[in-house]
Structure 1
Amino acid sequence: MTVQTAAPRPAPPTPPGGPAGRAPGRPSPAARLVAVLRGGLVQVLLTVVALVWLTPTAGLFVSSLRDADDNAGSGWWSALVHPGSLTFDNYSAILGDSGITQAFWNTVLISVPATAAVVVLAALAGYAFAWLEFPGRDWVFLVVVGMLVVPVQIGLLPVARLFGAVGLFGTTAGVVLFHVAYGLPFAIFLLRNYFAEIPREMLEAARMDGGSEWTIFRKLVLPVGRPAIASLAIFQFLWVWNDMLVALIFAGSDAQPLTVALQSQMRQFGANIDVLAPGAFLSLIVPLAVFFAFQRHFVEGVMAGSVK
């Protein structure tokens, strides 16, 4: 007796271009979007938006080059008709003020260590939370994520009492420690999620070649995570450089940054704009220089996050 088995059912035909049904040679949605953004009309629109966005900065710079009477009598745009009235005397006066120059260097001494410490500690912690196994790792990471919802204002009074008890209140180190403490949760969360996207095969191959965890972190993880690290450094630096609330509370008279020094100069805006305008522009030009210096890495980090 012969048993007949059913013939295997033929597999359905594969759509052209693969399982997704995309026609051969058809660009992806991301490629089509990039092609549209490269169009001439979009470029013109983006140029107009950039010019509008930079108009306040240009106005601040022109105002900083005018004397107090000219600023009180007319708008900054009138100086474009009479450029001969512009002068750098305001900058000479403000750079000759020891209080302003000391406040500028105080801002540097606060922003640079606070940014460097957050980036280094967050990179180490992000790698540990992403790829190292240790007891309670997930619970500790949940605690770190939970700290993201704690507002800065809630910690001002308790931290001020703690710093006063240990002798850090009113010092540059106290301001730096506060910025580091409140910048780490977001930094760890950002870098941990970025490092977790690194293919496991890369790390396993490095371990099989005899690489230690420190070698893998230094020679593999850090180069791969450079866009995210650069983006974090930009955000942290801008936040610390432009901060006034924390510095107003924790910085003493000898450690006050430029934002607090300019705030103390404010009597009436029209009365001392010759001091405020050049001081504000000096405070603005450094973050702009930092952003433009690292903009390529920043764009790479944004695009990598959108792809992932």
Structure 2
Amino acid sequence: MIASSRSPLVWVVHISVILLVVLWTLPTAGLLISSLRDKDQLAVSGWWTALSTSSQNLTGRAASPESQVERDGKFVIAGNLLEGGNSKVSAFGFRPLQPTAFPAGTPADIGDGQTLTVKDDGSYEIVSPTRMEGARGQRIFYTAAIPPRFTFDNYREVMRAEGIGASFINSLTVAIPATIIPILVAAFAAYALAWMKFPGRAILIAVVVGLLVVPLQMSLIPLLKLYNGVGAFLGVPAKTYVGIWLAHMGFGLPLAIYLLRNYMAGLPREIMESARVDGASDFDIFIKIILPLSFPALASFSIFQFLWTWNDLLVAMVFLGTGNNELVLTGRLVNLLGSRGGNWEILTASAFVTIIVPLIVFFTLQRYLVRGLLAGSVKGG
């Protein structure tokens, strides 16, 4: 027998999969590394330089004249600009427009007979022939080679922010019911479309498929007006959790019904026929047979729906509000960035704070994900 060799197409597929995995993994790895870096280093260099020494232009201030001492007939102010470690100063200056005017160790004339010297270890001396006056110390600009520094300060700042705990609870209050309710409704509808004969079933299936392509933004305002109208008629407050649960149910039902209907339609017909022969009703078949067998499809949709509702910001702002007591976790973390988008090191840490719960859900149900999606995509009734 001639040993069979793999087709070139197989190698192309494997290489393509590896490239896709790398392309998806690199941004996540970069985000994780950035979240652990010192914010000053993060501002001047990319995450791929995290393990290398970075050169930074920094500003410090010498000690005030109150700390000067007399030495050999001259007055001296001494100190260190660096906090320790292996950092080294390469150049310094005393004017903002000339931050690297003098190499480290070179005396610089700063006027009035005073000289400033900054050594490579960050130590400095200001020497004056007369007693120095003033309330504040001399500003010193310098360039230093800073070794890589990693810290959890970004995570501490996020976790200590006011209202984070309440927003976390708000997100759970939104995401859990907004995941369970569509599954319950969609499971009943999917069973009816898959196994029950009634007029207009094909039209309903076509409508469900068509709703999959309707943009959320297009239906958001009409849905909000409808909800506000019904709420005003019934005397129900506009901004409630019920409203956002119903909104997420409406947006999630088309995909849920489509996945579950395709999966249920592929289940063995003989099981249902045997149950009917034994006198089981449609409700009994659904509860005792269909639901246990459809758990992979239910788990697949649960992952998608939970990820969507947990990370949602637009629907939460529209149907729940933007007050301090109503903000979900994504809204709270966006507020930490400020109106100008500064302090973006907070964004990197916030990203990993928000994915803790979705990761738990995903790894709990991931073994059912592929099975449920593939079964729902290739089987039909």
> Shared topology, TM-score over 0.5?
yes
**Deviation at residue 306 of structure 1 after TM alignment:** 5.4
Query: Following superposition of structure 1 onto structure 2, how do residues 103-252 of structure 1 map, counting pairs within 5 Å?
Result: 103-134=167-198, 136-165=200-229, 166=231, 167-252=236-321
2:42 aligned to which of 61, 71, 81: 71
Q: Is 1:242–1:259's contact at 8 Å kept on the other side of the alignment? A: yes
Q: Structure 1 residue 289 and structure 2 residue 360: aligned?
A: yes
Whether the 8 Å CA contact 1:172–1:255 is kept in 2: the answer is: no
Normalized per residue, the structure richer in strand is 2
Q: Distance in 2 between matches of 1:236 and 1:264?
A: 25
Unaligned stretches of 5+ residues in structure 2 = 1-5, 54-146
Higher deviation after alignment, 121-130 or 50-59: 50-59
CA contact (8 A) 1:71 1:273 kept: no
Contact kept, 8 Å, 1:91 with 1:278, in 2: the verdict is yes
1:101 is aligned to 2:165: yes
Structure with max Cα Rg: 2
Q: Cα RMSD (Å) of the superposition?
A: 2.9
1:129–1:141: 8 Å Cα contact kept in structure 2? Answer: yes
Q: What are the superposed Cα offsets for residues 130-172 of structure 1, whole Å, 9 maximum, x if unpaired?
A: 2224455444444444433433223222322333341453333
Distance 2:156 2:36 in 1: 11
TM-score (norm 1): 0.76
| 1:102–1:305 CA distance, 2 compared to 1 (3 A) | same
Q: How does 1:263-302 map to 2 (within 5 A)?
A: 263-266=334-337, 267-269=339-341, 271-302=342-373
Name which of structure 1's ranges 49-58 and 131-140 shifts more when overlaid on structure 2. 131-140
> Deviation per CA, 1:74-123, whole angstroms, max 9, x where unpaired?
22233334797212122222112232332222222211111111111111
Which residue does 2:90 correspond to in 1?
A: none
Task: Count matched residues.
Answer: 273
- Higher mean C-alpha displacement, 248-257 vs 118-127: 248-257
**Cα–Cα, structure 1 residues 46 and 190, in superposed 2: closer, same or farther, change >3 Å?**
closer
Q: 1:56 aligns with which of 4, 27, 34?
A: 27
SS in 2 for 1:98: coil
Q: 1 or 2, which has the higher helix percentage? A: 1
Kept after mapping to 1: 8 A contact 2:259/2:377: no
- Mark the runs of 5 or more structure 1 residues left unpaired by the alignment: 1-31
Q: Distance in 2 between matches of 1:242 and 1:91?
A: 19
- Code of the aligned partner of 2:178: A
| Alignment of 1:87 onto 2:121 | no
Distance 1:125 1:148 in 2: 16
Change (3 A) 1:70 1:171: farther
Distance 2:253 2:266 in 1: 20
Percent sequence identity is 47
Matching residue of 1:5: none
| CA positional deviation for 1:249 | 2.0
Are the counterparts in 2 of residues 103 and 258 from structure 1 also a CA contact under 8 Å? yes
The structure with higher relative contact order (CA 8 Å, sep 6+) is 1
Q: Which moved more, 1:122-131 or 1:73-82?
A: 73-82
Query: Counterpart amino acid of 1:103?
Result: S
Structure 1 counterpart SS, 2:163: helix
Q: Cα 1:173–1:84, aligned 2, differ >3 Å: closer, same or farther?
A: farther
Provide, for residues 209-254 of structure 1, a one-character-per-residue CA deviation record: whole Å limited to 9, x for no partner. Answer: 3433333222321232222222211221222222222123222122
SS at match of 1:255: coil
For 1:69 and 1:172, locate their aligned partners in 2 and report how far apart those are by CA, in whole Å: 41
Equivalent residue of 1:80, what SS?
coil
Query: Measured at CA, do residues 51 and 137 of structure 1 come closer, stay the same or move farther in structure 2, by a change above 3 Å?
Result: closer
